[in-house]
Amino acid sequence: MNIIGKKSSLSGHIQVPGSKSHTIRALLFASLADGTSQIQNPLGGEDCLSAASAVKLFGAETDISRGDVWTIKGAGKNTHLPDNVVDVGNSGSLLYFMAPIAATFEGWSVFTGDSSIRKRPVLHLADALKQFGAQAYISRPAENAPPLIIKGAASSGKTITTDGRLSQYVSGIMMAAMRLDGTTKIELTDPKETPFLNMTRLWLESFGANIKISDDYRHIEIRGKTEIPAFNRVIPSDWEAAAFPLVAALITGSEIVIDNIDNSGSQGDAIVADILKSIGANIKIEDGNLYVSKSRLSTRNLKNGELHANLSGCPDALCALAAASCFTEGTCVFEDIKVCRSKETDRIEVMEKELRALGANIETGEDYLAVHGQPQFLSDGSKNPAFAMHGGIAESYGDHRVAMSLACISLALPEGQNLTIKDSECCAVSFPHFYDVMKKCGADFTQN
């Protein structure tokens, strides 16, 4: 499916989906729990549906027929080795979470996924699992990617040393360690995406797990064994999804309200609001809602007239922030983002290519992306002759965050311009019905 977007003015209220990160964690823990759990406000995206299917291989029973409440009958003490090949679809989170858990069982497990997953790096995961006491093999020796074959069982009392630049497999080891008697230590030499490690910690502690994490996240200690009781949990709204209507409103000079925003501090991407505020975004959170007012984005009041934002804790925010930067007066530099090269796509390379083709002045390095932006209008309201963004045809590369960032850009183009986004249905991975939700508040999207 291709989507064509053009200049729009947005207004009204938007409800974003539940958090993907929380939903997948909830599904895994519910599948291991003793009893029947309910997950309210789950994200019904493709990654979460893959997780709902995969956890049944542990012996759990799932009923996701109600979109607003999913019911999971956990396998509890009868949890077993996955009884078939685990197909994680497009979900890197599911791969990196579930593989370490599977490694706690005696026997062989096989993990694979779609064409994107079969390009995702797993050598770091395989090495960590070997230190955990399991065996791990990559089926294609020349590739650092699934299919991944694991032979358990892992054991406690191990110290695992790894870089931790991808947080997901570290979270997976934390989850697995909770199942084992004794103490597991994880030493991280270069921890990134640390808010997601904290999210996992909060989940584990909610079940009574004994876990210690140093302030710098370099030392993690989990003492098992923790039995997981059945639970009822409401999934908070997803900041990663909220970033896109937020950016769309700012760059189109619109006013919207994003309802039921998560203000618990459990999601690292909430920092997006603070980053945007620093360049002039009129944003406030009241009574659980996020209010966006007309804004003029500029780096003029920042040190040296530039924004420098370290995204090591929230690299998934890169695409949305890069889109906003194209319409910002001044230079925005996003740093410590090398992990973005190992996502669904190489997001640094992809965003550079697509934004430059649309007129953006952009540069990149191994672990940074810089946009030298220009607003469409000057401070006096006149047209900015230096503004160069224009329409065209853009590739999403099947990456949901790339597709949504390009969709936001299309809404802020000059009158008479439009942008066609190819394979745009991929946004359903994390924001089902994104285009319909945005159309209800005024976005001019048509399907081609």
User: Alpha helix (H) ranges present in 83-210?
Assistant: 92-102, 123-131, 167-178, 194-206
- Residue type for 345, please? T
CA distance 84 to 109: 8
Determine the 3-state secondary structure of 110 from DSSP: strand
- CB neighbour class for 264 (10 Å; exposed up to 12, middle 13-18, buried from 19): exposed
Query: For residue 410, what are the CA distances in angstroms to 252, 320, 323?
Result: 10, 13, 10
Determine the 3-state secondary structure of 58 from DSSP: helix
Catalytic annotation, residues: 316
CA distance 20 to 25: 9
**Residue for token digits 């299309």?**
410
CA-closest candidate to residue 240, choices 273, 197, 191, 212: 273
Cβ proximity of 320 and 244 under 8 Å: yes
Residue 316 half-sphere exposure toward CB, CA atoms < 13 A: 30
Paired sense of beta strands 182-188 and 159-162, if any: parallel
Q: What are the structure tokens assigned to 175, written together?
A: 């989850």
Beta-ladder partners of 135: 151
Residues near 385 by beta carbon (within 8 Å), at least 6 away in sequence: none
Query: For residue 385, what are the CA distances in angstroms to 128, 377, 381, 411?
Result: 54, 9, 12, 20
Torsion angles phi and psi, residue 154, rounded to 5: -70, 165
CA distance 350 to 348: 6
**Residue for token digits 């209008």?**
377
Paired sense of beta strands 361-365 and 148-152, if any: unpaired
Cβ proximity of 320 and 352 under 8 Å: no
Q: Is the peptide bond before 338 cis (omega within 30 degrees of 0)?
A: no
Cβ proximity of 225 and 183 under 8 Å: no
Residues near 43 by beta carbon (within 8 Å), at least 6 away in sequence: 17, 18, 19, 20, 23, 235, 238, 430, 432
Determine the 3-state secondary structure of 74 from DSSP: coil
